[in-house]
Amino acid sequence: MAEESAAPTIEIPPDLAERAKAVGWPEDLVIMLLGRGAQPPDLVRYMSMGVTAEQVREFVAQQEAGGGASPMPTTQLDLSWMNVPTEWGTRAKPTKKGLTLDAINIGRYGDVPDVWEYKTEMPRGAVATTGVEAMGYTIYEKQELWADNAADLYEEAIQRRWRPASDVDWASLQPLPDDLERAICQICTHFSEKGQLEADVIAGWEPELSYGYHEIKLYLATVVFEGARHAEVFRKRALSNGGGLGIQNTGWSFRSVTDARNFTEFIAIQMVLQDSFTLTQYQLCEARMPQAAEKLLFRLAMQDTARHIAYGIAHLKYVLLNRPERRLELQRYLDKGEAMLIMDEKDTATREAFAILLAGGKDKIQEGLKLYEALRRRQVEQYLERLRWATLDRGTHLNGALRAYLPPEEETA
């Protein structure tokens, strides 16, 4: 029993021991810090910043003096935080776009590690406080979530945000023929549902992503907001011109998004496959909507969704360049996503509504269905073009039902 309750022996990793010796940190100090929960990469960082053993002991002593369960009397000062050994003297400069995330990624604050070692909400570049409770993140590897364009996309999303309530001239809407109004309302019901789903699912992933990759967390926060904006704007259109909401989507393709068990799987299906197909539908709606206000709202929605795709394909490219062994895994995620997407064809309401919008009326719905097939071809071509940029060739993996939309020469291109 005595052996079971003894404190575990703390061993210094060889690399850390070597580094500590080189900078004059005694072994007992390193063992004491590890015993308090300090992470080896932290200690290496402090060593490389020139923090001396004496400064460390002083900092620990100050923390101990100021810590404890009893609150400190308000008249007693604890200024140990003023000696925190972070990189000091940083002076980021605004760019033409203002003080952007990229502009503040300087010095060690801009070092994005391949693996994030901390389980807490510690900001990248701050000094960890020992004993802080874990936040329950599950994604700690850069390749699992990173895209080089995320910081820029965040700034772009913030700068290009729009306001459905006042940017769209709702008062200008004129009554439409009943069949056209019903078709537009059905399409808007579908898009509103999609927007809410994207917001919900991404919001669910946010707490999984560790804090070291704040560029990704921030950008995805804008995607949540944009999903909400799309749910809002399409609902508003359905309820603003004498119509109302239509029938709910069958939701087959939604399942591949909600059931994704891996973040890259989710991104591949939601922000590459699904958003790519949605963007083409927005293009079509912008081109065919009968009133200027409707065309504007689809142009603005297009901008948001195109950013989502930019993150999605940049993430896939990052994964494939850094973990090429995941290539087949990504193909399988898309296999599954495409198969579920095809099931959406069972949603006759949305397909027929698109056909009426495309042809301009219910009396020409057969002509509209043919035009809808042409839309499918554009969807597949744009999707494959984006994947090719991410270095992923679907080739024979492409679902046969989607391949059927392509002309023969493009089928395996």
Partner 1 sequence: MPTFPSVEWFEAIRQLVNNDETFRRLGTVDARVGVKVGDKLYEVTFEAFECTGVKEIGEHDLRDLDFWLEQSPDEWRAMLENIKSHGSADLTFTLNTIDLNRPEGFAKSFDGYKRDTFYRFNQSLQHFFDVSAKIDTKFAAAARA
Helices 150-159, 214-238: crossing angle, 10 deg rounding: 40
Give min distance, CB of 405 to partner 1, in A.
Answer: 15
- Integer distance in angstroms from the first to the last C-alpha of the chain? 68
* Longest Cα–Cα distance in the chain: 87
Angstrom distance (rounded) from CA 366 to CA 183: 14
Does 92 contact partner 1 by CB under 8 A? no
Site for partner 1 in 250-269 (CB under 8 A): none
Evaluate whether 293 touches 139 at the Cβ level (below 8 Å).
no
Give min distance, CB of 31 to partner 1, in A.
Answer: 50
Residue 309's CB is within 10 A of a number of other CB atoms, namely 20
Evaluate whether 85 touches 49 at the Cβ level (below 8 Å).
yes
Pick 141 or 286: Cβ nearer partner 1: 286
Pick 259 or 373: Cβ nearer partner 1: 373
Out of 314, 316, 349, 398, the only residue in the binding site for partner 1 (CB under 8 A) is: 314
Out of 45, 182, 230, 386, the only residue in the binding site for partner 1 (CB under 8 A) is: 386
Site for partner 1 in 144-183 (CB under 8 A): 152, 155-156, 159-161
Pick 307 or 403: Cβ nearer partner 1: 307
Written as six digits, the tokens of 114 are 């391949």
Site for partner 1 in 268-307 (CB under 8 A): 279, 283-284, 286-287, 289-292, 295-296, 299-300, 302-303, 305-307
Pick 45 or 230: Cβ nearer partner 1: 230
Give min distance, CB of 146 to partner 1, in A.
Answer: 16
Evaluate whether 303 touches 364 at the Cβ level (below 8 Å).
no
What is the identity of the amino acid at 108?
R
Ramachandran class of 360: left when φ > 0, alpha when ψ lies in -120 to 50, beta otherwise: left
Which residues of this chain interact with partner 1, rule CB under 8 A?
Answer: 95-97, 152, 155-156, 159-161, 279, 283-284, 286-287, 289-292, 295-296, 299-300, 302-303, 305-307, 309-310, 313-314, 378, 385-389
